[in-house]
Structure formats: structure tokens, C-alpha cells
Chains A and B, each alone.
With several copies, the nearest count.
Chain A
Amino acid sequence: MASGRDTTVKGLQAKLGNLAESEYFTPPATKPAGPENDAEYAVKGLDSLADPAFHNAPLDITDWPHDRLRGFLHRMLTIRAVEERLGELVESGDVVCPVHLAIGQEAIPVAVSHHLTPADRVFGAHRSHGHYLALGGDIYQLFAEVLGRADGCSRGMGGSMHLFAPEVGFMGSVPIVAATVPVAVGAALAAKMDKGDAVAVSYFGDGAAEEGVVHESLNLASQMNLPVLFVCENNLYASHMDISQRQPSDSTARFAQANGIPHAVIDGNDVAGTARVAGEMITAARNGGGPSYLEAVTYRWRGHVGPDENTDVGIRRSTAEIAAWKRRDPVARLVAAMTSRGDMSGNEPGAMADAIRDHVDDCAARALEAPYPENSALMDLVYAGSPTPASGGR
């Protein structure tokens, strides 16, 4: 792997093998359009990965040591407990800012973060509590941020949709869909210029894949052979819209394929399997192998924003669909596998969850008491590097 991949046109062409036999070779390559011949233009779909009737068995945890899995479980339970508490705070009116919960999607960032260090550069979007917490982001600071308090990870200036924790490698999340994708590519460019082995990670959703900038970013990362892992958390929805209402296929990895980027489409509710693939991709990036694209299929148990389930949107979202997806619960499947292998006794997971919840409740309670930012923050942070008088206002 020392020399990196050959991403020149010639290099890519060489990989194709016998091009002379390809339909692309001999023009005019007449390809009549029409349903009779559509198979050759077809794009791949998720098939059973999008069907909650499948992939809900206990995980295959062969090769994973006990304590590693305990770590995974702890992080997943932490994310879930924090988000459930946040949902309650929304319902009680304590939290006002928009809160996008990723309950049900916990496995993906936990699996990816397992391979990361604080020198890496992770970027999220509007639904990023899990991305932050999976890296070890501070729980109290997260609550404080969502509540707009000065102790928040963004000093109370951003709320749920603007998280920042460089001490664990979390370099920022913002809610303009797809906006951090090119930013992560730039962080990867910086890592490459550093000549170290840091990588960048870009989390985004299936909806984000509809923004043109994602495609520009894939091309740039591929062309420049940058160490970035694109993680598409495909939960089949963008707000109220089912993916089938938005795209001709329910799998986005075809865009990586189009850009010559190695990719995999996996069960994102399998923390062990996701960690395995993510690990290979991150290792490749660290070793000069360039970008990869991980499409992790998952499902959010709650609605687009807030704790509601949003069973009134899309074309298939319903109480029944949500219940079916809960049988592909990433937490329960890991617990089942660990219990059946004898890694954990029957009441251990419950005890772990209780302890986590206690700690989470304590963090939330403290955050509710924390002070708001000073009024001066409003103007002083506009030009944060060097406070400069700005105009306007009263």
C-alpha cells in the first residue's frame, strides 16, 4: 500500500482489464433506450438492507474481544440515554432549539469512532449528538450547549445543531445539509499536506446526497486522493420524504462508484460489522489509499426533529414500520450476541444502562443550572480572532 492508489485516468483504465471487449470501446456503442434494455442502466438498490424483516438477528461477534464490545455497548447506551433525556427536555419545554435525534442509529458513529484519535477530523450535520458522543465528547457540555449555556461545547452559541469538540477530534457540525462534506474534504487535504496519518470523516445522510456539493466533493477527494472517509448514514428519509420519493435507487454508494471511490453498503445497525469495514477503510486512508465511502443503512426511531415519531409522513412510515425497525435495534442485537456468548450475564446490560442514565441525568440537571453566555458574546464573537466593532442594532 506504500505507493497509494494510482488514480490517474490511465491507472483507472488499467484496472478495467480488457477494455477492448468493453461496450465502451467500439463506437458507436449504440445502446437503445427503453424498458427492454434497461437492465444495463440499472443502479443497485439496498434490497433486504432496507427491509426490517431482515438483519435483525444477534450480531456475529466472532473475533471481537469482550472488553471492546463492552466499550461499544457503553457508548451506544450513552448516546441513547442522552438523546432520550434530550427528548424529554424538549417535551418539558426546557430545550427550545431544534433537536434531531438519532435514536436507533447509535451503532454507526460508535463503530467508526473506534478507529479514530483526536488528531483526526470529524464533521457532522444537524443530527450529530451521536457523532460527538461516540468520540467521547463531554456529556455535560452537550446538554449545556443544547440549553444555550456558556458551559456548552460551543459556549452556548450554537445549540444542538452546532457542536464542536476538537479535544476529541470533533471539528464541527452545522445544519445546512451537506455543507460539511467539502469542509471535511479540506480537512483531509490539510492532513495530506501535514504528511501525517490523520484522516477526516464526513457524516451525512441519504438526503444530503441530493446536494450537488456532495458530488463535487467526491470528485475532488478522488482526484486528489485525499484521506477522507465518507459515511452516509442512510436512514431512508430526509425529513418527511421517503428515499423512493427522491432518488431512483435507495442506495447512494453508486455515487462513490461513479467517482472511483472504494465503497461498501452495510447494515449500519451491526456495530461489529460496521467497525470492521470502517477500520479497513480508515487504515487505507491512513496509508495513502485515499477516500472511501461507507453507506451504513439504518433507521431513526423518532421523527425528523424532536421526539415525535412522525408516523404521518412519507409513504411507508408507520407505527408498524417503526416497530419492525426496533427489532433491528443495534443495542439489543449486540446485547443478545454478548449474552449468548457469555460475555455478559443477564442483568449486566440493565445495570450498565442504569448507571449511564444516572450520570446522564446528573449532567442534564447541572446543565439546567448553568449560566447563559454574557450579552457581550453576541458582538464579541463576530470577529472572534480580534474583536472589532460591528454596526447595527440598538
Chain B
Amino acid sequence: MDGSLASIGAGLGQTSYAQGIRDAFQYLLSTHSNCFAIGQGLWSPWYVGATMDDLDKEFGKDRVIDTPVSELACTGAALGASLCGYRPVVIHPRMDFMLMATDQIVNQAAKWAHMLGGRTSPAITIRAIINRGGEQGAQHSQALHAWFAHIPGLRVVMPATAADARDLLIASVMCDEPVLYIDNRWLYERSDHLGDITELRLEDQGPRVLRKGDDITLVGSGYATWLCEQAADELATQGVSAEVVDLRVINPIDHGLVIASVTRTGRILAVDDGWQNCGLAGEILAAVAEAIEPSSFKSRPSRLTLPDAPAPTSKPLEALYYPTVADVVTRALSVMR
């Protein structure tokens, strides 16, 4: 398992992904009086990692609100506040728990603007944390980003870097539409030099090339992007020049950059740490297959995903379950033949 990113921990002047999230909250709560945070664990020293430490003390328990164990009502309440001029972030410490709130996310937030003729603005941000590994098992390990990317009207954002963790959270909250912002605890130690905060327009954000390369295009989002980056480094030592595309925003999805890259490399491996059937990796492959002439492919497109099984708890099975950098390298080499 690749649970630890200690190897790329914070150097001098670097900011971690977790700290980036906290910086974003700090910025939003300081500069936007209509922003508030609500969710389970916000008054806890350990519930949401280090991403919200002491924000309740800094900004008051009226703006950093911990809640009863009522995911559905709390999400609905955040939606209601967003319709009245606020920019709430509702936090679900595990995506699995957020399934209790499916109705408010999928039937409500995603649809209110469209079905009310665009006259209302559900400017709610829903923060879902992927919190897996550690033998937590099937109900505490899910990465269901593909699910939510399937829902029109819901923007879905998956930061892979510390900079994006901060900047895309701010962009999500400043966006007038409902956004699902998904962070992954396996990335919390990942660090970067971060520039000053500027408010990005989320609607202008899309996929980005993180490593240039000519032989194969590796596509990921969130933690899978990190896997691709590490794999690209390893592949380079083996003489394979891999381009890495980080999707960043998976709904609405803009396939242009990936298509352009594969048009050039002729090879694609989509990596996803979600499930395969009707998942995100399949979406990428389908889009590429639809857009590029068969004759331009140098080999068959490929995808590497979780096995289609619930997360196990037992140590050896857990190790078997999660894709690793080595798995990405091996698969990329097989795409290269």
C-alpha cells in the first residue's frame, strides 16, 4: 500500500495538502463573511485530519459548526443556507457516510438551478473525504467520485496537489453552483511550494499536464494522479517518456486535453482508485476511443482500477486491493509492449 507519502513530505517553505485545505478555510472564513463550515467532526481534534484544526476557536462555533449525526438534514440545511446568500461548506469526514445525504446532493443541490429555471443559485460546496486503508473495511473506504460525476448539475472536483487542494477549494466555494470537492487523506502529507492565493473561477479550471511525455499518456485524478506521477518517474528511468494528465475537475468533464495528448502519444492508461464498472477510467477510455481514429492508436487503451470488490480489512487483502505505483508501471509497460 501507498498510504504514506512521507517520502515527499514538507520541505522548507513547503505547504502540505492538508495545510492547503486549512489555508483555504482560513482564507474563506476571513475574507468572506457569508462563508461558513458545517459538518461532523469540526470541533474534534482528530476527525478530519489536520485540515480544520482549531478553526472553530479562530472563527467561532457559529461559523464552524459541528453537528448531530444527521448527514441528510445537515446537507439539506447547508443547501437551504446557500439559497439565502451564504456559501456553506458541508463536510463529510467519509464519503461512505455522505451516502446518507444522497437525496440532498443528487435530487436537490444538483437540480435546483435547472428545474427552477436558473433563477436560484445553490452555491453549496460539499466536501467529501476519501478515508481508506488502515483495515477500516467496506463501509469506511469508498471512493465514489465516478458516481457523482454521473450527475448533471453537480461540479465534481478532485485535487491531486497541495496547490489544488487549497485553490480548488476556494474556487469551489466561490462558484455559484453546487460543487462536490473530494479530498483524499492519502495525499495529506503531499507538499508543494504554494504561491499567493488568487481566487480562480472554477468554470475555467480543467485538466492539466503535470509531466510532459511522448510515449504514453497516463490519466488520473486525486490520488491516482499521484500514482501516475510516481510511475512516470519510474518509467523515465526505464526509457519510457510518459505524459501525466491530472483531470482535476471530473464533472462537467472536458476531454480535450486527454484527447490531444493521446493523439500525440498514441497510447493511454487511465488510472483510477475507484471501481471499474461504469467508472471514471472507463469514461476516459470511451471519450478517447470516440474521438480518435483507430489508426492513430499504437496499442489498445488500458485502464487500471480497484478490483470490483468491497474493501477488505485483512492486511494481505488490503495490500492486494489498492493499486500501487508498481502496478501502474507494470501496466504502462505492457501497454508499451
| Contacts from A to B (Cβ < 8 Å) | 96-98, 121, 123, 148-149, 152-159, 161-162, 164, 166, 171-172, 174-179, 181-191, 193-194, 200, 207-208, 210-213, 216-217, 219-220, 223, 238-241, 245-247, 312-313, 372-373, 375, 377-386, 388-394
A384 to B153, CA, bound (A): 9
Q: Known interface pairs A156-B314, A394-B331. Does A164 touch B177 (Cβ–Cβ under 8 Å)? A: no
A164 to B137, CA, bound (A): 15
Q: Is B58 an interface residue (CB 8 A)?
A: no
Q: What are 7 A-B contacts with C-beta separation under 8 Å? A: A121-B84, A154-B119, A159-B314, A176-B103, A182-B79, A183-B83, A385-B175
Q: Are B69 and A190 touching (Cβ within 8 A)?
A: no
Q: Are B47 and A157 touching (Cβ within 8 A)?
A: no
Taking A121-B83, A241-B43, A373-B312 as known contacts, 19 extra A-B pairs with beta carbons closer than 8 A to each other, sorted by chain A number, are A97-B137, A148-B317, A158-B117, A158-B313, A179-B76, A179-B108, A186-B84, A207-B69, A216-B74, A219-B68, A245-B43, A246-B68, A375-B316, A378-B312, A383-B153, A385-B175, A390-B252, A390-B309, A391-B276
Q: Are B314 and A372 touching (Cβ within 8 A)?
A: yes
- Say which residue of B45, B112, B331 sits within 8 Å of A172 (CB atoms): B112
Closest residue on chain A to residue B75 by CB atoms? A182
Q: Are B76 and A213 touching (Cβ within 8 A)?
A: yes
CB distance from A227 to the nearest CB of B (A): 12
Counting chain B CB atoms within 10 Å of each CB, the highest count among A96, A190, A207 belongs to A190
- Say which residue of A157, A176, A238 sits within 8 Å of B313 (CB atoms): A157
- Say which residue of A98, A148, A375, A388 sits within 8 Å of B320 (CB atoms): A375
Q: Are A96 and B177 touching (Cβ within 8 A)?
A: no
Q: Are A220 and B80 touching (Cβ within 8 A)?
A: no
Q: Are A182 and B134 touching (Cβ within 8 A)?
A: no
A391 to B103, CA, bound (A): 23
CB distance from A59 to the nearest CB of B (A): 32
Q: Is B29 an interface residue (CB 8 A)?
A: no
CB distance from A149 to the nearest CB of B (A): 7
> From residue 234 to 262 of chain B, which have CB atoms closer than 8 A to chain A?
252-254
B161-169, B183-191, B217-225, B299-307: which lies at the interface: B299-307
A380 to B307, CA, bound (A): 12
- Say which residue of A172, A241, A377, A381 sits within 8 Å of B83 (CB atoms): A172
Q: Are B80 and A383 touching (Cβ within 8 A)?
A: no
Counting chain B CB atoms within 10 Å of each CB, the highest count among A98, A156, A240, A392 belongs to A392
Q: Are A157 and B118 touching (Cβ within 8 A)?
A: yes
- Say which residue of A182, A220, A378, A385 sits within 8 Å of B121 (CB atoms): A385
Residues of chain B lying within 8 A (CB to CB) of residue A240 = 41, 43-47
Residues of chain B lying within 8 A (CB to CB) of residue A312 = 45
Q: Are B113 and A182 touching (Cβ within 8 A)?
A: no
A121 to B309, CA, bound (A): 27
Residues of chain A lying within 8 A (CB to CB) of residue B62 = 193
Residues of chain A lying within 8 A (CB to CB) of residue B316 = 372-373, 375
Residues of chain B lying within 8 A (CB to CB) of residue A383 = 113, 153, 155, 177, 203, 252
Q: Is B67 an interface residue (CB 8 A)?
A: yes
Q: Are A176 and B68 touching (Cβ within 8 A)?
A: no
Q: Is B209 an interface residue (CB 8 A)?
A: no
Residues of chain A lying within 8 A (CB to CB) of residue B310 = 382
CB distance from B69 to the nearest CB of A (A): 4
A154 to B36, CA, bound (A): 28
Q: Are B307 and A183 touching (Cβ within 8 A)?
A: no
> From residue 285 to 327 of chain B, which have CB atoms closer than 8 A to chain A?
304-310, 312-317, 320-321, 323, 327
Q: Are B307 and A193 touching (Cβ within 8 A)?
A: no
A210 to B66, CA, bound (A): 13
Q: Known interface pairs A96-B135, A390-B309. Does A166 touch B44 (Cβ–Cβ under 8 Å)? A: no
Q: Are A158 and B77 touching (Cβ within 8 A)?
A: no
Q: Are A388 and B252 touching (Cβ within 8 A)?
A: yes
Q: Is B12 an interface residue (CB 8 A)?
A: no
- Say which residue of A183, A188, A394 sits within 8 Å of B327 (CB atoms): A394
Q: Is B107 an interface residue (CB 8 A)?
A: yes
> From residue 97 to 152 of chain B, which have CB atoms closer than 8 A to chain A?
97, 100, 103-104, 107-108, 112-121, 123, 134-140, 152
Counting chain B CB atoms within 10 Å of each CB, the highest count among A238, A239, A389 belongs to A239
Q: Are B77 and A164 touching (Cβ within 8 A)?
A: no
A177 to B96, CA, bound (A): 11
Counting chain B CB atoms within 10 Å of each CB, the highest count among A157, A213, A377 belongs to A157
- 7 A-B pairs with the lowest CB-CB distances in the bound complex, closest first: A186-B80, A182-B76, A155-B117, A393-B307, A385-B176, A148-B314, A392-B276
Q: Known interface pairs A189-B77, A190-B80. Does A210 touch B140 (Cβ–Cβ under 8 Å)? A: no
A282 to B241, CA, bound (A): 68
Closest residue on chain B to residue A172 by CB atoms? B116
Q: Are A381 and B73 touching (Cβ within 8 A)?
A: no
Residues of chain B lying within 8 A (CB to CB) of residue A159 = 135-137, 313-314
Counting chain B CB atoms within 10 Å of each CB, the highest count among A171, A181, A382 belongs to A382
Q: Are A97 and B134 touching (Cβ within 8 A)?
A: yes
Q: Is B14 an interface residue (CB 8 A)?
A: no
Q: Are A179 and B103 touching (Cβ within 8 A)?
A: yes
Q: C-beta contact mask, B46-82 vs A, less than 8 Å → 1, else 0?
A: 1100000000000000100011111011111111111
Closest residue on chain B to residue A308 by CB atoms? B46
Residues of chain B lying within 8 A (CB to CB) of residue A392 = 152, 275-277, 305-309
Q: Is B86 an interface residue (CB 8 A)?
A: yes
Q: Are A96 and B315 touching (Cβ within 8 A)?
A: yes
Q: Are A373 and B317 touching (Cβ within 8 A)?
A: yes
Counting chain A CB atoms within 10 Å of each CB, the highest count among B66, B84, B112 belongs to B84
A240 to B44, CA, bound (A): 6
Q: Are A375 and B317 touching (Cβ within 8 A)?
A: yes
Closest residue on chain B to residue A98 by CB atoms? B136
A144 to B306, CA, bound (A): 26
Q: C-beta contact mask, B325-337 vs A, less than 8 Å → 1, else 0?
A: 0010011000000
Q: Are A377 and B121 touching (Cβ within 8 A)?
A: no
